[in-house]
Structure 1
Amino acid sequence: MTRSVYVTGIGRGDGRQVVELGLMELLSRRSDRVGVFRPLTHRPTDDMVDLLRSRYRIGLSPGLLYGMDYEAAAALRAERGEDELVSVLLDRFREVERHCETVLVLGTDFAETSIPDELALNARLANEFGSLVVPVVGGHRQTADTVAAESRNAERAYSTLGCNVLALFANRVPAAERESTLRQLRAASAVPAYVLPDDPALAAPTVAEVVAAAGGKVLLGDADGLDRDVRGYVLGGAMLPHFLGALHPGCLVVTAGDRTDLLIGALAAHTAGAPAIAGVLLTMGETPDPQVMGLAARLGAGTPVVVVPELSFATAQLLAPLEGRITATAPRKAETALGLFDLHVDVAELTSRIELDRPQRVTPMMFEHELIERARTPRLAEIVLAEGTEERILRAADVLVRRNVCHLTLLGAHAAIRRKLADLGLDLGLDPGLDPDLERGAERGPAGEEPEEDSTRARVRVNDPALDPRRERLAEIYAQLRRHKGVTLDQALDTVVDVNHFGTMLVHQGLADGMVSGAVHSTASTLRPALEVIKTAPGAGLVSSVFFMCLPDRVLVYGDCAINPDPNAEQLADIAVQCARTAEEFGVPPRVALLSYSTGTSGQGADVDKVREAAGIVRRLRPDLLVEGPIQYDAAVEPAVAATKLPDSPVAGRATVFVFPDLNTGNNTYKAVQRSAGALAIGPVLQGLRKPINDLSRGATVQDIVTTVAITAIQAHQQRQAEAARTE
């Protein structure tokens, strides 16, 4: 039976897009066929529907996702009555429902419509659709008492109209009023109540939205620059020294087009990262001469410079009330919204009330979403990103912090990272100033102590290994660990400056929970310090790797495709046991196939004998595992072939873990499946280390990095749990 959730409100300005996006994320984690339906719309297309359709890969025709526009609805209601209107909308909803397991319905927006009593209409539609109802009440600039009273009225109104209320949301509540609002709602509400605080990053318009509102023309800037959040405005009228003192992170400079000194000064400050501005808006319709614009282009690569026709004061009046929206063209706002939702909503409680069971099929998107969800619990892990000046790493860090996945430590010079962030238009919450203490790596305090902070909110630190006050102590420990190899303290002092060694030492000393590297370093550069310092875990004879191969309807585990060139039988068995354990830890039921060019007893030779011996060792080590080997790939994955070659095997035809006999076979096979079958390959994920260190492909995308960091955080949680179990 298709489940549907109907998100509605009681008036304008509730910012319910955050709730809509959060609920769609929740539904997509438990269903591979999600849909969205907007009963009434103002325009042929809708920003939120477009965002959900693209982000969650909803393959239905766009026209199918809408009921009708408000004007047609009002005319139909006036001519033939509300029953006819509801009947038509119900028919159109059923069309979407037929194609989906779950549907998110976006209620009316209470904005300049000719539909009387929209609340009652939303309630009736929800009842006819058979939907669970989620009322959202706006709390912007309201007191806790006011928000709580309006929320209780909303719950009472929809319940009185026969709705099955799933949960109640108060949104955009002032941060100082959140706790009081939550206490009052939980004391009085018959359903779970959640309170989302007002987040300035969501209310901030993007530069692109400012350009559209002001009728501007973009002179300089790229797509990333236009996606920057505008955190405030600075009107440029003062002389340059006073003007520079007024700049703040994320501000949009608004100044007359003939003030070229302020244009160049603002871009120069941005390039220095002191501070990173959103862009420059030139008023009066005046464009600086080509020589000035050429200099501006060199100073602020990617930073938007826009010309608008109005005077500065009129432009400021126009922009003052402008607020941002969550749209498909502002992906960073979507990440911020999802992070806010997950931080303040009990997702497990909400999921149980919708009664969503774990599906039999697991799609790539579902697998990735579950990784993000698991990475946050039971607490945020501290993950080191060794390549802190690399663009993809910084973009991934932006996503990870917005989604509140984990704490991050970026390695590299603070000034260099700050300049790179300014160039990319990213704000990771780093200190915007040029505090020399930051350059000495003193973010943790004079003795390396953690500062007071909200441990539930992801944050980013920067550490420069060359200037970090812990360098000498880490070098001493490294020298002791490597003394048998003749490493002196002086050599260790030089070695730990290397970002991979420094990050590994932080993990070794418990100053971080895991490390990810490899976007610009080789696998050997990432793995060597780990083998020197972290070493293998108890029971592991070697370090190996897996790839999670996400096919359209399932997730398979491939190993080893990245580390060991030609393992012997004992090593192959070790790899198989590790792969099975990794599969279990990430929710893939292990049915292990040790692959060869021969199946069962049909072939002979050294290569086949190695696999056969390895299978026997695995059975002795883990008699509980379902293992088959030697077996060919087709017999392992295809039931029809398995029925012919190994009809009585519990693994053949339904294997989930594939262990390749050597690196040549494994690496080529995973790449062939990735490219030919369109599979999402997540990895390599390293296994067999005492603490989690993971390697990236040098061609890793931003999403690859995000997923690898999430996996590393999950491994860190599991490692802590294993240590706790051993000490009990």
Structure 2
Amino acid sequence: MARSIYVTSPEGNTGKSLVALGLVDLLSRSVARVGVFRPVARSADRDHVLDLLLDHDGVNLSYEQCVGVTYDAMIEDPEAALARIVARYHEVERACDAVVVVGTDYSNVAGPTELAFNSRVAANLGAPVVLVVSGAGRTPAEIQQIAEVSAGALAEHHAQVASVVTLRTGGGQLDAVREGVSAALGVPAWAVPTHPLLDAPTVRQLMDAVGGRVLAGDEELLDREVLDVLVGAMSIEHLLDRLVDGAVVITPGDRSDVLLGLLMAHQAEGFANLAGIILNGGFEPPAPVQRLVEGLGTRLPVLLTDRGTFRSASAAASTRGFLSKESQRKVDTALALFEQHVDGGALLAALEVPRPSVVTPLMFEYTLLDRARSDVQHIVLPEGNDDRVLRAASTLLQRGVARLTILGDEAAIRARATELGLALDDADVIDPHTSELLERFAEEYTRLRAHKGMTVERAREIVASVSYFGTMMVHLGLADGMVSGAVHTTAHTIKPSFEIIKTAPGIQNVSSVFLMGLEDRVLVYGDCAVIPDPTAEQLADIAISSAATAAQFGVEPRIAMLSYSTGASGSGADVEKVREATALVRERRPDLSVEGPIQYDAAVDASVARTKLPDSSVAGRATVFVFPDLNTGNNTYKAVQRSAGAVAIGPVLQGLNKPVNDLSRGALVQDIVNTVAITAIQAQAQAAARRASAAEADPVASPAAAGA
């Protein structure tokens, strides 16, 4: 039976979708199959809360499966609606390990009747309640009183409050609210501060509110958040001083002077970066002015509405934003607030969610993010001209996964990030061509490549390339790792690391692995991207490096040296190469569990293993697979990815002194996020190894010895 959690509020506009999203995200790290359910959904339009939750990677259900009844049905016959809700819920429950149930919305202020209905639904589903209370404009004592009254109302209908989350709490009241509510109700309680971005509408929402259409600009930017609305009826010289970043300006359509002034200010340095312009009154700019607007090449959305100034301004001012899947920045902000202010482990304990017995791809991805956050590393991203990289950077920064340096023209990068509504204020942006580091890097590169006849003049040209510049940052300790390849080729990304960073002690070859997320476990495949036809010595290197990589990411390394023959059953040059490589691994690392040559079926299938290699500790339970050549490895990982629905994370480069990782040029934003987290974890491991080596070399100076 799935564990269900019921999220409800005693009033409308509390922001409980933030808590619901945080719970879905939290549960996705803990159980294999997460479900969502909306007992009562809007009848006219699709429910944006449900759409938001269904968009999460951890949920694999259709919209229709997750709806109980409409508001009309609930009002017409509450008893029949309740029976329908319970029946529909159990259909979802059977397919899931845990279900987040999001209670009804409120069209007005506090409504005890609606809270009573939520109480009955929660009781009938057997779901503990996470009560969400709004702290907006309230004192800690008032919040505590609302929580007590609401908990009492829920208890009257046999619903049990397991925890309380107060949203939109004043910054200085967090501790008082949390402690007061927890003491009053005897359950865990948390308080989350207010964040203006979460209530900000998008340009698209304002366009719909005023009944407008796009006259000029990039429609992709309609999903940017609006942080202020201004009426621009005054002259442009007075209006310029009132502009702020993220503002939408409403101005009459026949004020061509204001329109052109706003567009020029938006594009000029030193002025605010606007979110949009609304031309009201139904006046289109004259044809010459429209040609001039087109000539400016603006991407800023310019909208046109037939409404007058007052009606347009009133409609825009009353438009409330909400958390939706269209705004990745809002989603990242909401998740970051939840992670920072709600103790996920304590919440799961209060809800009695059991520990998982399997590791799904999504659970593994969340483990990567959590581990990266545990010791934040500094990663350099050379491809600041790619929107995917900027979107990933925004997510990484808001979720606290890494510190970032982005390479490229700073003005262009920050302008594009603002256009896309991304949060990159905490990122360092460096232009290699103008950086004061250029000369230092050129001198160091000249020293490293002196044996190749390198000169400082030539080195200046080389290290100005973003890949070389980023690699030099890692080499000199100005960054802990680098991730590139969304735009550039693999060779462009990793060639500088071969020249500058070089291989780790005891390793002669750089190779790669893919972390293959199957339905219930993670396997390691190597090498699938770097060495085309490895020798026996190179295969041994790949096996040892792959075992270390597996251990870094929580996979117990049991190495299968793959061949078309198992044990002593076959012969030939290809089999002998694998046999020799296996012997080298055992000689160099007798502590590792390794078997080879072995066929894939004997490596993964216990029944086959009992027949072919009954005494092997690896056969039937291998976790690290070393392929005999790149042709086999690359095709196998793609076959498993496409045919078995596995999630392939990588390639992860291994064997380098410091971590550099390559992306596919078709990488998605989440791929970039995952690769940065992997790079950070590699950097953590290498830093720990260096500390341990230093302590061994000089135990008196080590922190452990000093503490003793």
Distance 1:156 1:476 in 2: 72
Quick check: 1:594–1:629 contact (8 Å CA) kept in 2? yes
Distance 2:634 2:685 in 1: 27
Correspondence for 1:680 among 639, 647, 659? 647
Distance 2:110 2:391 in 1: 44
Quick check: 1:224–1:302 contact (8 Å CA) kept in 2? no
1:142 matches 2:138:
yes
Alignment of 1:388-467 (within 5 A): 388-422=384-418, 424-430=419-425, 459-467=426-434
Distance 1:497 1:643 in 2: 57
Cα drift, residue 21 of structure 1: 0.3
Q: Tell me the equivalent position of 1:630.
A: 597
Alignment of 1:549-568 (within 5 A): 549-568=516-535
Quick check: 1:411–1:463 contact (8 Å CA) kept in 2? yes
Aligned sequence identity (%): 50
Q: Tell me the equivalent position of 1:324.
A: 321
Residues 522-531 or 209-218, more deviating: 522-531
Task: Specify whether residues 506 and 146 from structure 1 end up closer, same or farther in structure 2 by C-alpha distance, changes over 3 A only.
Answer: farther
RMSD: 2.9
Residues 249-258 or 612-621, more deviating: 612-621
Residues 340-349 or 650-659, more deviating: 650-659
1:179-227 deviation line (CA, Å, top 9, x unaligned): 5434545665633222211112211111111112222122334552111
- Give the letter for the 1:597 counterpart: Y
Quick check: 2:372–2:677 contact (8 Å CA) kept in 1? yes
Distance 1:645 1:263 in 2: 78
Q: Tell me the equivalent position of 1:714.
A: 681
Q: Tell me the equivalent position of 2:211.
A: 215
Distance 2:372 2:622 in 1: 27
Distance 2:546 2:689 in 1: 17
Q: Tell me the equivalent position of 1:450.
A: none
Q: Tell me the equivalent position of 2:345.
A: 348
1:339 matches 2:340:
no
Alignment of 1:74-93 (within 5 A): 74-77=75-78, 86-93=82-89
Distance 2:349 2:509 in 1: 41
Q: Tell me the equivalent position of 1:36.
A: 36
Q: Tell me the equivalent position of 1:572.
A: 539
Distance 2:499 2:393 in 1: 27
Cα drift, residue 663 of structure 1: 2.2
Alignment of 1:699-710 (within 5 A): 699-710=666-677
Report SS of the residue matched to 1:323. coil
Distance 1:121 1:290 in 2: 58
1:514 matches 2:481:
yes
Q: Tell me the equivalent position of 2:164.
A: 168
Correspondence for 1:669 among 614, 633, 636? 636
Cα drift, residue 232 of structure 1: 0.9
Report SS of the residue matched to 2:220. helix
Cα drift, residue 611 of structure 1: 0.7
1:490-543 deviation line (CA, Å, top 9, x unaligned): 554444322223222322333322211122223233223323333333443332
Q: Tell me the equivalent position of 2:194.
A: 198
- Give the letter for the 2:345 counterpart: A
Task: Specify whether residues 20 and 299 from structure 1 end up closer, same or farther in structure 2 by C-alpha distance, changes over 3 A only.
Answer: farther
Q: Tell me the equivalent position of 1:255.
A: 251
Cα drift, residue 340 of structure 1: 1.9
Distance 2:659 2:202 in 1: 37
1:128 matches 2:95:
no
Quick check: 2:216–2:303 contact (8 Å CA) kept in 1? yes
Report SS of the residue matched to 1:599. coil
Alignment of 1:478-557 (within 5 A): 478-557=445-524
1:641-692 deviation line (CA, Å, top 9, x unaligned): 5455445544334433221122232223323433444433221111122322
Gaps of 5+ in 2: 696-703
Q: Tell me the equivalent position of 1:695.
A: 662
Cα drift, residue 156 of structure 1: 5.9
Residues 356-365 or 64-73, more deviating: 356-365
- Give the letter for the 1:712 counterpart: T
- Give the letter for the 2:421 counterpart: L
Residues 226-235 or 118-127, more deviating: 118-127
Cα drift, residue 7 of structure 1: 0.7
1:125-170 deviation line (CA, Å, top 9, x unaligned): 3233221211111112334443344345545654676544332211
Quick check: 2:12–2:108 contact (8 Å CA) kept in 1? no
Report SS of the residue matched to 1:604. coil
Distance 2:600 2:133 in 1: 55
Quick check: 1:343–1:404 contact (8 Å CA) kept in 2? no
Task: Specify whether residues 127 and 687 from structure 1 end up closer, same or farther in structure 2 by C-alpha distance, changes over 3 A only.
Answer: same
Task: Specify whether residues 50 and 398 from structure 1 end up closer, same or farther in structure 2 by C-alpha distance, changes over 3 A only.
Answer: same
Task: Specify whether residues 628 and 105 from structure 1 end up closer, same or farther in structure 2 by C-alpha distance, changes over 3 A only.
Answer: same
Quick check: 1:278–1:425 contact (8 Å CA) kept in 2? no
Distance 1:689 1:185 in 2: 52
Distance 1:220 1:642 in 2: 66
Distance 1:683 1:568 in 2: 23
Distance 2:487 2:662 in 1: 10
- Give the letter for the 1:514 counterpart: G
Q: Tell me the equivalent position of 1:309.
A: 306
Distance 2:442 2:185 in 1: 57
Q: Tell me the equivalent position of 1:54.
A: 55
- Give the letter for the 1:496 counterpart: V
Distance 2:34 2:241 in 1: 50
Distance 1:56 1:519 in 2: 22
Distance 2:389 2:354 in 1: 35
The TM-score normalised by the length of structure 1 is 0.88
Distance 1:301 1:654 in 2: 59
Distance 2:293 2:368 in 1: 43
Cα drift, residue 595 of structure 1: 1.5
Q: Tell me the equivalent position of 1:72.
A: 73
Task: Specify whether residues 178 and 75 from structure 1 end up closer, same or farther in structure 2 by C-alpha distance, changes over 3 A only.
Answer: same
Report SS of the residue matched to 1:55. coil
Distance 1:679 1:251 in 2: 44
Task: Specify whether residues 715 and 603 from structure 1 end up closer, same or farther in structure 2 by C-alpha distance, changes over 3 A only.
Answer: same
Correspondence for 2:94 among 82, 98, 101? 98
Quick check: 2:526–2:626 contact (8 Å CA) kept in 1? yes
Quick check: 2:224–2:275 contact (8 Å CA) kept in 1? yes
Distance 1:691 1:164 in 2: 52
Distance 1:272 1:603 in 2: 72
The TM-score normalised by the length of structure 2 is 0.90
- Give the letter for the 1:41 counterpart: A
1:15 matches 2:12:
no
Task: Specify whether residues 236 and 114 from structure 1 end up closer, same or farther in structure 2 by C-alpha distance, changes over 3 A only.
Answer: closer
Report SS of the residue matched to 1:667. helix
Q: Tell me the equivalent position of 1:448.
A: none
Distance 2:331 2:514 in 1: 28
Distance 1:418 1:187 in 2: 46
- Give the letter for the 1:26 counterpart: L
Report SS of the residue matched to 1:685. strand
Gaps of 5+ in 1: 431-458
Task: Specify whether residues 425 and 266 from structure 1 end up closer, same or farther in structure 2 by C-alpha distance, changes over 3 A only.
Answer: farther
Task: Specify whether residues 287 and 165 from structure 1 end up closer, same or farther in structure 2 by C-alpha distance, changes over 3 A only.
Answer: same
Report SS of the residue matched to 2:29. helix
Report SS of the residue matched to 2:567. coil
